[in-house]
């Protein structure tokens, strides 16, 4: 048991769980017959397949090499948070402020970034994006306001 890999096993069990969840929903769809297959046929087959594969991986995890999974919170929060803010705000406060929040948030992930360079980058990308996407390509986004 010395080479037992808990992370691998955990991932395999997640695969099994996802397959099971998928299967439970699939059973609710009409199966149909072999000639006229219903909407549920393929999903049921896929769900069963994924559970099986997950089981194989769980079995294999006994011999798997140890994988180290590092979780760094800062980039996750700031990059994904920046994208989330952009998606939620683009139709409410407009392209320029949403982009400013996104770019600032992503720039400040790196510890080498100074506020000065982050602000310069933000201004640059806002101006460039406005010119290319709104003025040039006429993508329907309002520059300011919803």
Partner 1 sequence: MDLISGLALGIETAITAEALLFCFLGVTVGMFIGVLPGIGPLAAVAMLLPVTYHLEPMAALIMLAGIFYGAQYGGSTASILLNLPGTSTTAVTAIDGYPMAKQGRAGVALFITTLTSFFGGCFAIVLLMSFAPALGAMALKFSSAEYFSIMLLGLIAAATMSLGNPVKGVVSVVAGLMLAMVGMDTTSGQLRYTFGILELQDGLNLVAMAMGLFGVAEILKNAGTPERDASQLQKVRMRDLVPTRKDLSQCWKPTIRGAGIGSFIGTLPGAGPTLAAFLAYALEKRVARDPSRFGRGAIEGISAPEAANNASTQAAFIPTLALGIPGDAAMAVLLGAMMIHGIQPRPEFFTEHADLFWGLVISFWVGNVMLLVLNIPLIGVWVRILTIPKRILFPAVTFFICVGVYSVNNNPFDVLMVIVFGLIGYLMNAFQYPTAPLLMGFILGPMIEQHFRRALLFSRGDLTTFIDRPISAAFLAAALILFVATLVPSLKARFAKTAAAKKTREGAGAE
Residues that bind partner 1 in the complex, under the rule CB under 8 A: 7-8, 11, 15, 18, 22, 25, 29-30, 33-39, 41-43, 46-47, 49-50, 53-54, 56-57, 60, 67, 69, 72, 74-76, 79-80, 82-84, 86-88, 90-91, 99, 102-104, 106-107, 109-113, 117-118, 121-122, 125, 129, 133, 137-141
Q: For the CB of residue 127, give the shortest distance to partner 1 in the complex, in Å.
A: 12
Q: How far apart, in whole angstroms, are the C-alpha atoms of residue 106 and residue 77?
A: 10
Evaluated on CA atoms 40, 43, 45, 47, the torsion sign reads: negative
Nearer to partner 1, 8 or 97 (CB): 8
Q: What is the DSSP string of 79-117?
A: IIHHHHHHHHHHHHH-HHHHHHHHHHHHHTTSTT--HHH
């Amino acid at each position: 048991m010395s080479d037992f890999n808990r992370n691998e096993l955990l991932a395999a069990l997640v695969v099994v769980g996802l397959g099971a969840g998928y299967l439970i929903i699939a059973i609710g769809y009409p199966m149909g017959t072999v000639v006229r297959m219903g909407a549920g046929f393929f999903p049921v087959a896929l769900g069963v397949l994924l559970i099986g594969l997950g089981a194989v991986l769980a079995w294999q995890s006994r011999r798997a090499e140890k994988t180290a999974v590092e979780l760094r919170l800062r980039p996750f929060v700031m990059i994904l948070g920046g994208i989330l803010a952009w998606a939620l705000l683009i139709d409410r406060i407009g392209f320029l402020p949403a982009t400013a929040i996104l770019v600032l948030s992503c720039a400040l992930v790196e510890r080498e970034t100074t506020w000065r360079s982050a602000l310069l980058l933000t201004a640059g990308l806002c101006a460039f994006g406005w010119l290319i996407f709104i003025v040039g390509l006429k993508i329907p986004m309002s520059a300011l306001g919803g």
